[in-house]
Chain A
Amino acid sequence: MNDHLESLQEEALRKLVRGVPVGEPPVDLDAAILAAAMSAAPPIRTRHRPNWWRRLRAPLAVTVTALLATMLVLVAPRQPAVAPASVPAVAPAEQAPAPVETREAAAPATSQPAVLLPPAARGGIVHERSGREASKGGEPPPASLPQVAKAIGEARSIATDRAEASGPPLPSPASMQPGAQPARSDEPTAGADHGASKVAPTSADTAPFRATPAFSREGTIAPLKAQSPAPERHVAEIRALRRQGRNDEADRRLAELRRLFPDYELPADLR
């Protein structure tokens, strides 16, 4: 009973306390407190910028990366290809005879000596560049003689291996020195059906090679070698001449064989 009465009195007391008009803080006090709070609050930007940056930095990084990659892809092919000087000359040595042969077959007998290009400039994409330079009349970069000799030596060793099958051997570096005998432009093209001529280049392929026909400085030994028949055929013809009693002509052909193929080991009957 007393508890119930007390609880009722407490409830009435609470209502009484809450209903008492104590008043409220004056407006100017509110304004002063809020102004102090505003001025004390740090700028929102400094706090929110990291959130914004955290949300966008990943997509932004992907976008920038993709943009850079696209620019690289678009710009890279336009830059001129710089062929290193240490590119092996094996590929050019194998490819050089075919276009030269084609050129010699189409060129007049009084063609000028070919311009020498470095071995590296004869392979792959560089062909287009050399072709452009040739068409523009530009001077090709000079190649040092040791580089040329080294490249020819490598090519010769490969060509010698192939010569056992069908192709003629390459001339020795010594034969390509400035003092070597120039080749004749009117050399017979009996060897046109040999080796590289079987892979006839198209007109687009031959165009870049017009300015890079040979290894040697004069550009004549390689065409001669390509146009000359195989040494075995020379030997057979020389033997036939001797059998016919035409020894002078046979000796001349033998000398020519030695000049063209100095490394060729002659048969015992011709030594």
Chain B
Amino acid sequence: MSEEWSDERLMLAYRDGDATAFEHLYRRYRIRLYRHLAHQCGDNRLAEELYHDVWMKVIAARAGYEPLAKFSTWIFRIAHNRLIDHYRRHDRDGAKQYDSDCDPDELAASPAETPPRLHERGVIAVRLATALAALPEPQREAFLMAEEGGLSLEEIANAMSCGRETVKSRLRYAMSKLRHSLKDLL
């Protein structure tokens, strides 16, 4: 029965003490969130750390949870904030790219973002990771939220605390750059 519940209802049930509701919720977002983070940071170990932190924040925030927005928006917003924290600590340039005054379309891709395990992955995976890594952070995050998280424009805008048109623009630029980078694979 709880498998048919919405994400928000499951989270409310977990808030009220139903641990099995959290299991269902975890199963729904396990792959989506992890892939989003893994694509976002390009490092599986770092992705696991971020992934763990995001879920811990969900668990810690359960008591005050209210379904004011979709759960997907909420959890990806937590992931977004966690990523910004990570960039602020370890990558000042990455954090700067989230500054609203800075136009991400004017930013150049970081040359040092090549994943360390490129040789262990397949060619497509390497090419894709490289292409994603070449994207500015906001564009990459918006793109991954849309493709991996399945969020709508409004949900992405809500999660990233920006306007819908901004998200639309970021998605358009990200798609254009990826098409250009992976043109021979498409």
- Where the two chains meet, the residues of A that have a C-beta atom closer than 8 Å to any C-beta of B are 6, 9-10, 12-14, 16-26, 29-30, 32-34, 36-38, 40-44, 46-48
Return chain B residues, CB-CB under 8 Å to A17: 39, 128, 147-148
Return chain A residues, CB-CB under 8 Å to B65: none
Instruction: State which residues 1-60 of B face A: CB under 8 Å.
Output: 14, 16-19, 22-23, 26, 30-31, 34-35, 38-39, 44, 48, 51-52, 55-56, 59-60
Known contacts A20-B122, A22-B35; 5 additional CB pairs below 8 A are A13-B182, A17-B147, A17-B148, A23-B44, A33-B55
CB pair B59 A30 closer than 8 Å: no
Return chain A residues, CB-CB under 8 Å to B30: 24-25, 30
CB pair A18 B147 closer than 8 Å: yes
CB pair B17 A44 closer than 8 Å: yes
B52 touches which of A16, A20, A33 (Cβ 8 Å): A33
Q: Report which residue of A22, A34, A47, A48 has the largest number of chain B beta carbons within 10 angstroms of its beta carbon.
A: A22
Return chain B residues, CB-CB under 8 Å to A26: 48
Known A-B contacts A29-B51, A36-B59; the reply to A22 vs B147 at CB < 8 A is no
Query: With A and B bound together, what is the CA distance between A32 and B18 in angstroms?
Result: 18
CB pair B62 A40 closer than 8 Å: yes
Return chain A residues, CB-CB under 8 Å to B78: none
Tell whether B162 is near chain A: CB-to-CB under 8 Å: no
CB pair A44 B18 closer than 8 Å: yes
The dominant DSSP class at the B interface is helix
Query: With A and B bound together, what is the CA distance between A180 and B16 in angstroms?
Result: 90
Return chain A residues, CB-CB under 8 Å to B148: 17-18
A-B contacts, 11 of them at CB < 8 A, read A9-B186, A13-B179, A13-B182, A20-B125, A25-B51, A33-B52, A36-B56, A41-B18, A42-B16, A43-B17, A47-B17
CB pair B19 A10 closer than 8 Å: no
Query: With A and B bound together, what is the CA distance between A10 and B52 in angstroms?
Result: 31
CB pair B185 A33 closer than 8 Å: no
Query: With A and B bound together, what is the CA distance between A93 and B124 in angstroms?
Result: 119
Tell whether B178 is near chain A: CB-to-CB under 8 Å: yes
CB pair A12 B186 closer than 8 Å: yes
Q: Please, which residue of chain B has its CB at the minimum distance from the CB of A38?
A: B19
CB pair A21 B17 closer than 8 Å: no
Return chain B residues, CB-CB under 8 Å to A21: 121-122, 125
Tell whether B75 is near chain A: CB-to-CB under 8 Å: no
Return chain B residues, CB-CB under 8 Å to A47: 16-17
Tell whether B175 is near chain A: CB-to-CB under 8 Å: yes
Return chain A residues, CB-CB under 8 Å to B185: 12, 16
Return chain A residues, CB-CB under 8 Å to B186: 9, 12-13, 16
CB pair A13 B59 closer than 8 Å: no
Q: Please, which residue of chain B has its CB at the minimum distance from the CB of A25?
A: B34
Known A-B contacts A9-B186, A13-B178; the reply to A22 vs B39 at CB < 8 A is yes
Return chain B residues, CB-CB under 8 Å to A36: 55-56, 59
Q: Please, which residue of chain A has its CB at the minimum distance from the CB of B42?
A: A22
Known A-B contacts A6-B179, A9-B186, A25-B30; the reply to A37 vs B147 at CB < 8 A is no
Return chain B residues, CB-CB under 8 Å to A6: 179
Q: Please, which residue of chain B has its CB at the minimum distance from the CB of A40?
A: B59
Query: With A and B bound together, what is the CA distance between A38 and B17 in angstroms?
Result: 9
Query: With A and B bound together, what is the CA distance between A236 and B148 in angstroms?
Result: 129
Return chain A residues, CB-CB under 8 Å to B182: 13, 16
Return chain A residues, CB-CB under 8 Å to B179: 6, 9-10, 13
Query: With A and B bound together, what is the CA distance between A17 and B30 in angstroms?
Result: 17
Known A-B contacts A10-B179, A17-B148; the reply to A37 vs B59 at CB < 8 A is yes
A34 touches which of B22, B31, B35, B175 (Cβ 8 Å): B22
CB pair B17 A41 closer than 8 Å: yes
Query: With A and B bound together, what is the CA distance between A36 and B179 in angstroms?
Result: 41
